[in-house]
């Protein structure tokens, strides 16, 4: 997780979780099914890509959701016909 070295996001078929590495504990932060990617931006904004189980590629979806640093949904952007599957944040100073 950007800005939080002890944290790690991970997903499964049923949601998004935050892992505290040192404490070796995790908790659910988003109970949405089919999440394929969940990342944090330097501003704290979180980005989510999820499958919509529709169209020619059920593993992706045309919408990217944005959340504030607390996890509250702020807005979504949709590109008709797109099939987003992964979202990555690339910051040279972080990597």
Q: What are the phi and psi torsion angles at 60 (to 5°)?
A: -125, -175
Model confidence over 21-72: pLDDT tens digits? 999 999 999 999 999 999 998 888 999 999 988 877 888 999 999 999 899 9
pTM given for the model:
0.83
CA 34, chain centre distance (Å): 11
**76 has a pLDDT exceeding 70:** yes
pLDDT band at 94 (very low <50, low <70, confident <90, very high): low
Residue-level pLDDT at 57: 80
Contact between residue 22 and residue 7 where contact means Cβ atoms under 8 Å apart: no
Sign of CA dihedral 69, 73, 29, 81: negative
Q: Which of 45, 55, 58 is nearest to 1 (CA)?
A: 45
């Amino acid at each position: 997780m950007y800005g939080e070295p002890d944290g790690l996001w991970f997903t499964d078929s049923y949601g998004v979780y935050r892992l505290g590495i040192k404490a070796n504990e995790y908790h659910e932060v988003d109970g949405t099914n089919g999440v394929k990617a969940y990342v944090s931006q330097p501003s704290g904004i979180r980005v989510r890509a999820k499958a919509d189980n529709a169209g020619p590629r059920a593993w992706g979806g045309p919408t990217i959701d944005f959340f504030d640093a607390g996890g509250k949904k702020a807005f979504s952007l949709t590109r008709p016909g797109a099939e987003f599957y992964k979202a990555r944040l690339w910051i040279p100073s972080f990597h």
